[in-house]
Amino acid sequence: MSVLQDIRNTDAEELKDFFDKIGEPSFRFLQLQEWIWERSAESFEEMTNLPLALRQKLSEHFEFRKAEVHKEQHSSDGTVKNAVRLFDGLVVESVLIPTESRSTACVSSQVGCSLDCHFCATARLKRMRNLSPDEIYDQVVLIDRQSRLKFNRPLSNIVFMGMGEPLLNYSNVLKAIERITSEEHGLGMAAKRITLSTVGVSKMIRKLADDRVRFNLAISLHSAINERRSSIMSINDASPLEELMDSLQYWYLITRRRITFEYVVWKGFNDDEQSIKALVAYCKKVPSKVNLIEYNAIGDARFQQADVEVLELYRQELSHAGISSFIRHSRGRDIDAACGQLANKSTQ
């Protein structure tokens, strides 16, 4: 028996050839594209304006490898965590984060993660595989539906802050973003409403700039002192702070988009004056702002959220240097849906 091909992972050119070969006119191909991408169809049966014979032929060659919500968990603050089951049974997590005026989707780019950031729960899962463009796109579609249903409004923002390192699945993440932003065959969302968060893979940040992307970039920094950063994030050995900064300056030169640094302050790790000074000096080198993220405990006693007074010190010193900073309170912590807590706990 021949294996069916995933229709949404088939090139437009290949599909056009298929239509030619079976003698279907090109407008039928356009109808199919509309069903797949604008209407997020999940089967050929629902494509009621295509002739039955064509639908049958399509289903003999192709299938829909749709991702499905396998489990939904609701936080007392309105956050919804979805365990999304992929066609091969693997599971990733995607989160809907509502505020008064916005609905943000936090999506995953890989199953598990190959990096070893000591403070992150996803790092404890082995990296199983990259997500395909459609598996990323599906998470967005699912959460968009959820937002319309629960809050009566479409998604307003997307952050690539779920499981995995998006820059280690570069081409699939970019293809998914193309779909998400495409007016013609996609969701038509503005690129400026999308933020990609990375540990900071310098080579790939340069590539993003060269590819002239129009979304925002966030860097998980956590320390602007090489030795300390390396002690909790091994990526810093491969891509140390100086090299990271070179790539960020290059990014800014080309995209003119300000960078966001994500930064958690831990007791006894970076709650000292030297760390604050190093961060201020680092931020001054490139147009940037800082999000001071609340730490979400993952059961490792080495990491403890610093006192709020220290956060205020950070804010003051950054502000004196003309750098904006924001304290980001955790969302969805009661259901392990907050930053760094995604570890497929509910499905294990």
Q: Is the dihedral of CA 216, 176, 91, 122 positive or negative?
A: negative
Euclidean distance between CA atoms 272 and 118, whole angstroms: 20
Decide if 100 is catalytic: no
Annotate 164-219 with DSSP letters as a single string.
S-GGGGHHHHHHHHHHHH-SSSS----GGGEEEEES--HHHHHHHHHTT--SEEEE
The CA distances from residue 311 to 20, 48, 266, in Å, are 63, 57, 10
And the tokens for 211? Answer: 């590819």
Near ligand SAH by CB under 6 A, which window of 33-41, 52-60, 124-132, 294-302? 294-302
Q: Which is nearer to ligand SAH, 112 or 340 (CB)?
A: 340
Q: Which is nearer to ligand SAH, 50 or 235 (CB)?
A: 235
The CA distances from residue 226 to 140, 209, 219, 242, 283, in Å, are 35, 24, 15, 9, 15
Longest Cα pair distance anywhere in the chain, in angstroms? 72
Decide if 339 is catalytic: yes
Q: How far is the CB of 208 from ligand SAH (least distance, A)?
A: 14
Annotate 264-297 with DSSP letters as a single string.
E-BTTTS-SHHHHHHHHHHHTTSSEEEEEEPP--
Number of residues that bind ligand SAH (CB under 6 A): 16
Q: Does residue 194 touch ligand SAH according to CB under 6 A?
A: no
Q: Which is nearer to ligand SAH, 35 or 160 (CB)?
A: 160
Q: Which residue is nearest to ligand SAH (CB)?
A: 340
Near ligand SAH by CB under 6 A, which window of 65-73, 192-200, 249-257, 275-283? 192-200
Q: Does residue 119 touch ligand SAH according to CB under 6 A?
A: yes
Q: Does residue 290 touch ligand SAH according to CB under 6 A?
A: no
CB 260 within 8 Å of CB 289? yes
Candidates 161, 217, 279, 343: give the one binding ligand SAH (CB under 6 A). 161
* DSSP code of residue 51: -
Catalytic residue among 93, 135, 165, 262: 93
Q: Give, in degrees to the nearest 5, the angle at Cα 337 between 112 and 297.
A: 85
Candidates 283, 298, 323, 335: give the one binding ligand SAH (CB under 6 A). 298
Which residues ranging from 240 to 279 are in contact with ligand SAH (CB under 6 A)?
262, 264
Beta-carbon contacts of residue 272 (< 8 Å; ≥ 6 apart)? none
Interface mask toward ligand SAH for 318-347; x: CB under 6 A: ---------------------xx-------
Q: How far is the CB of 348 from ligand SAH (least distance, A)?
A: 18
Near ligand SAH by CB under 6 A, which window of 25-33, 43-51, 136-144, 291-299? 291-299
- Give contact residues for ligand SAH (rule: CB under 6 A): 119-120, 161, 165, 197-199, 220, 262, 264, 293, 295-296, 298, 339-340
